[in-house]
């Protein structure tokens, strides 16, 4: 059985992430279908938040099978939430960073069994994977540009890995330029 403080921190984190995700989805849907050519980026963020909330919730389950993977689950959630929170600092980042800090505190207080060195290494690996999935998700979803069927529009941006890009839409046809 885990400490009460760990359970409370995890439940608060879960509630914060879930509430932020639901509010974010509401904001996305309230904006309507038109305008943004990179419509898949906010949907990826919403899905990523849901996965982070699920990791926190799974780590709370009082099952012997889960006890062995609690550290990697919480490490992945902490790294993912902190990375996303810092990237989204000017919009929905503050509650996500706070949730990341809370789950990191819960991670630090998680009971460590003898031979926990492997658990710490898998936790580090899980955190790196969570951040890699976040970066890869942004890379992929920013490349999916939806042009309106008529009219002109254009823009530019920058990917984390591949750098800057520019695009133009002309009557439903996309022209994409790297660099």
Q: What's the pLDDT tens digit per position in 80-104? A: 999 999 998 888 889 999 999 999 9
Q: Does one domain contain both 126 and 156?
A: no
How far, rounded to the nearest angstrom, does the alpha carbon of residue 40 sit from its chain's CA centroid?
14
Range of the domain at 165: 148-179
The number of folded domains in the chain is: 2
pLDDT bracket for residue 114 (50, 70, 90): low
Q: Are residues 15 and 51 in the same domain?
A: yes
Check whether residue 61 and residue 112 sit in a common domain.
yes
Let me know whether 50 and 121 are in one domain.
yes
Shared domain for 49 and 101, answered yes or no, is: yes
Residue range 14-18: mean pLDDT, rounded:
96
At residue 8, does pLDDT exceed 90?
A: yes
**Residue 26: pLDDT band by 50, 70, 90 thresholds?**
very high
């Amino acid at each position: 059985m885990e400490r009460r403080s760990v359970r409370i921190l995890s439940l608060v984190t879960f509630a914060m992430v879930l509430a932020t995700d639901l509010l974010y989805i509401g904001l996305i849907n309230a904006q309507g279908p038109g305008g943004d050519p990179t419509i898949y980026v906010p949907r990826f963020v919403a899905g990523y938040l849901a996965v982070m909330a699920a990791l926190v919730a799974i780590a709370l389950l009082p099952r012997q099978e889960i006890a062995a993977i609690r550290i990697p689950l919480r490490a992945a959630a902490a790294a993912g939430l902190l990375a996303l929170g810092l990237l989204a600092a000017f919009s929905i980042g503050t509650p996500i960073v706070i949730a990341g800090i809370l789950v990191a505190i819960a991670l630090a207080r998680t009971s460590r069994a003898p031979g926990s060195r492997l658990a710490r290494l898998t936790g580090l690996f899980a955190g790196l994977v969570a951040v890699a999935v976040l970066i890869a998700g942004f890379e992929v979803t920013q490349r999916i540009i939806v042009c309106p069927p008529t009219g002109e529009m254009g823009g530019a941006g920058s990917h984390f890995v591949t750098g800057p890009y520019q695009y133009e839409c002309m009557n439903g046809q996309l022209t994409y330029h790297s660099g």
